[in-house]
Amino acid sequence: MSQKQTIIGNALPNIPWEPKPQQCSDVLWRSEMNPIIQRDLIPCSNSIFNSAVVPFGGEFAGVFRCDDKGRSMRLHRGVSKDGIHWNINNDPISFICDDEEIGKFVYGYDPRVCWIDDRYYVTWCNGYHGPTIGVGYTYDFKEFYQLENAYLPFNRNGVLFPRRINGKYAMLSRPSDNGHTPFGDIFYSESLDMCHWGCHRHVMSTTSEGWQSTKVGAGPIPIETTEGWLLIYHGVLTSCNGYVYSAGAALLDIDRPWKVLYRTYPYIISPQKIYECVGDVPNVVFPCAALHDAPTGRIAIYYGAADTVTCMAYTTADELIAFIKDNRM
């Protein structure tokens, strides 16, 4: 255990954890149990991936992207005692919403879950005349309430910050098109009421070549550290066989998170294992959640693999931050 705590946050003594294998020289190491969630865990599912997990009542809970056997994209709730073995509800979440037009569910995918103040906020890619960012909340992972969509279509990868910044809620997002968007930068937006979003700021662009040259998008909820907001994000490369989704990491300024302090030139994880390269969409790793334990700095990352299954990988805050600084662009 390090003397100084790098992560600003709570202890999570029961965080899922596997020590780094001796022969591993990478900054992230995969779970030996991958994939921790198989595609057919529940009767209706074609695939379960790109999902969000949080500590809940001494155990764990989450919102899962389950594409059904009609290949419709749905959100399901789940609970787990250890963060690894999951009990996912077979019925999709039915959001309670005051406004019929907003509450009419079309599709939902790539959820993120973020504890702020007194509740768990859920953001996801929500079908409303094309993809935009849906926002809702739950107290108990049983009843979910839906708020207004955050933005006009088209937008994806809406990721909240876990506290107000300069008195306002803050969210990263990635304006997009209605298809398999061949572009995309990360932006920052603020809101006083979780309804009206503005003061949009550019955060980061794609690079001229390499794993993050087609589009970038925020991944898990940013982790507050003494070195800045630790952001894990995905980046996409266009190969002769289509898109390749990898992930990198960045540090953002604590008070002005649209200012990137450092950002990795290399990826921290790319599709290499068979379960990341073979599936409904080959060559995809897509992190959507990260648990962390402040005293030890341990970080457990949840990512979707090949748009088919859910996997885990581990790192520590000190190791990842050192890697970002040593391998910055």
Q: Which residues bind ligand BMA (CB under 6 A)?
A: 50, 109-110, 245, 281, 284, 286, 304, 307
CB of 255 to ligand BMA, least distance (A): 31
CB of 69 to ligand BMA, least distance (A): 18
Distance of CA 156 to the CA centre of its chain: 11
CB of 322 to ligand BMA, least distance (A): 29
Residue 16 or 304: which CB sits closer to ligand BMA?
304
Return the structure tokens found at 177: 């098109």
Residue 49 or 323: which CB sits closer to ligand BMA?
49
CB of 299 to ligand BMA, least distance (A): 21
Element of type H or E holding 326: helix 317-326
CB of 254 to ligand BMA, least distance (A): 29
Closest CA to 229 of 211, 247, 203: 203
Question: By the 8 A CB rule, do 327 and 248 touch?
Answer: no
The residues, any chain, with a CB within 8 Å of residue 71's CB and separated by 6 or more, are 46
Element of type H or E holding 291: strand 285-293
CB of 294 to ligand BMA, least distance (A): 30
Q: What is residue 152's three-state secondary structure?
A: coil
Closest CA to 160 of 205, 224, 97, 83: 224
Return the structure tokens found at 3: 């003397």
Closest CA to 132 of 92, 164, 174, 94: 174
CA distances, 238 to each of 207, 211, 271, 280, 304 (Å): 12, 8, 14, 17, 19
Residue 313 or 324: which CB sits closer to ligand BMA?
313
The residues, any chain, with a CB within 8 Å of residue 154's CB and separated by 6 or more, are 130, 131, 132, 175, 176, 177, 178, 181
Element of type H or E holding 127: strand 119-127
Residue 64 or 109: which CB sits closer to ligand BMA?
109
CB of 223 to ligand BMA, least distance (A): 22
Residue 125 or 291: which CB sits closer to ligand BMA?
125
CB of 73 to ligand BMA, least distance (A): 8
